[in-house]
Homo-oligomer: A and B are copies of this chain.
Amino acid sequence: MAITLKDVALRAGVSRSAVSRTFTEGASVSEGTRKKVKKAAEELGYRPNALASSLTTGRTKLIGLVSDNFRNPIFLEVFDLFTRGLQERGLRPLLVNLSGQKDPAQSLQMLQTYSVDAVIVASSTLPPSFAEAFRDAGVPVVNSFGRHTTNPNVHVVGIDNVECGRMAARALIDHGYRKVAFLGGPVEATSTQDRFAGFREVIRATPGVSQTHSYAAQYSFEAGYAEMQNCIANGPAEAYFCGDDVLSVGALSAAKAAGLGVPDQLGIIGLNDMEMAGWNNISLTTIHQPIRQIIASSIELVTAMLNDSTRYPEARLFPCHIVERGTLRRT
């Protein structure tokens, strides 16, 4: 078995309390005993047991990181930023792969079993009710990349997807396209719905511009490819606002395969500005989503909630902007 408090106490010739106190910030121990204890601990290779201490302190420093999309390269960046940010603050990400499991009950139960201090739901597709289930169970939760509602009862950090839809519509119009379309992610995803709502709003308000829409089965390359093939078969629009970058890349690929010239015959604008969008064999014009800031802010919020779990829910929205590359005509 591993070295415990008792072993160290015995060796240092002090009580277990003394050992415990030297390892807890701000406890009252004299310099002398601290030294003795440190020395004994060092010699024995003592590692405090975080789980045992969580039993009395009520803090595990475990953070549930829940995601439902492991196919979209943007999430690799998301995991990178989350894991690093959490680690820097001494928090540990317990990763949960929803893999299609839309019901929060199971993951909630599991995360409760492991007494996570908080949960980050990193998803732009799950409805607010998902994160709310955690809050209702008394688990502090932040919904990163989630839907912003006017009266949130759960913390949301992300972007205004409706506004992004508007932005995309304006961009297509400004670049001279008149027959435009929305090629969304799955219809049940909140981000799809919101982006489309904003998009349609602007198009409808603009005379002389027509609009169609369709949905890909998921946010993935294949789904984007397949749906663009469909569109082409049915007579393509002049330009597409794709639900996100990975769909855009799929759509782009289908367009090229069909011999359609991008951006002249067919324009595409994506959303996310994932790393790959800048690769010069892709060069996707897209709406930049500030994921670094969103994640940094999510982590700040989580740490704040650890100290005050009754914190009033807030929505933190970050502005997006268009990054012009090669998939929309020059104006």
A residues whose Cβ falls under 8 Å from a Cβ of B: 1-2, 47-52, 54-55, 58, 60, 62, 65, 70-73, 75-77, 79-80, 83-84, 87, 92-97, 99, 109-110, 112-115, 221, 225, 249-250, 252-253, 256-257, 275-276, 279-282
A52 touches B50 (CB 8 A): no
B-chain residues with CB within 8 Å of residue A96 when the two chains form the complex = 83, 87
B-chain residues with CB within 8 Å of residue A54 when the two chains form the complex = 51
A97 touches B83 (CB 8 A): yes
Interface centre among A52, A73, A95 (most CB of B within 10 A): A95
B-chain residues with CB within 8 Å of residue A99 when the two chains form the complex = 80, 84, 87
B47 touches A112 (CB 8 A): yes
Known: A47-B109, A55-B55, A79-B79. A92 touches B70 (CB 8 A): no
Taken together as a complex, chains A and B put the C-alpha atoms of A221 and B279 apart, in Å, by 8
Give the copy number.
Answer: 2
Beyond the given pairs A80-B99, A84-B97, A87-B99, 20 more chain A to chain B contacts, judged by CB atoms under 8 angstroms and listed by A's residue number, are: A2-B112, A47-B109, A47-B112, A48-B113, A49-B115, A50-B113, A51-B54, A62-B114, A65-B95, A70-B83, A72-B76, A73-B73, A73-B76, A76-B79, A80-B97, A87-B97, A92-B110, A249-B279, A249-B281, A253-B281
B-chain residues with CB within 8 Å of residue A76 when the two chains form the complex = 70-73, 75-76, 79
B-chain residues with CB within 8 Å of residue A51 when the two chains form the complex = 51, 54-55, 60, 114-115
A79 touches B52 (CB 8 A): no
B65 touches A70 (CB 8 A): no
B-chain residues with CB within 8 Å of residue A72 when the two chains form the complex = 76
Q: Chain B nearest CB: distance from A280 CB in Å?
A: 5
B275 touches A221 (CB 8 A): yes
- Nearest residue (CB) in B for A58 is B1
Interface centre among A2, A54, A60, A279 (most CB of B within 10 A): A279
24 examples of A-B residue contacts, CB within 8 angstroms: A1-B58, A47-B109, A49-B115, A50-B113, A50-B114, A50-B115, A51-B51, A51-B115, A52-B55, A62-B94, A70-B76, A70-B80, A71-B275, A79-B95, A80-B99, A83-B97, A87-B97, A93-B95, A94-B94, A95-B95, A225-B279, A253-B279, A253-B281, A256-B280
- Nearest residue (CB) in B for A49 is B115
B-chain residues with CB within 8 Å of residue A60 when the two chains form the complex = 51
Known: A256-B281, A279-B249. A83 touches B55 (CB 8 A): no
Taken together as a complex, chains A and B put the C-alpha atoms of A179 and B58 apart, in Å, by 64
B-chain residues with CB within 8 Å of residue A77 when the two chains form the complex = 70
Taken together as a complex, chains A and B put the C-alpha atoms of A83 and B99 apart, in Å, by 10
B-chain residues with CB within 8 Å of residue A113 when the two chains form the complex = 47-50
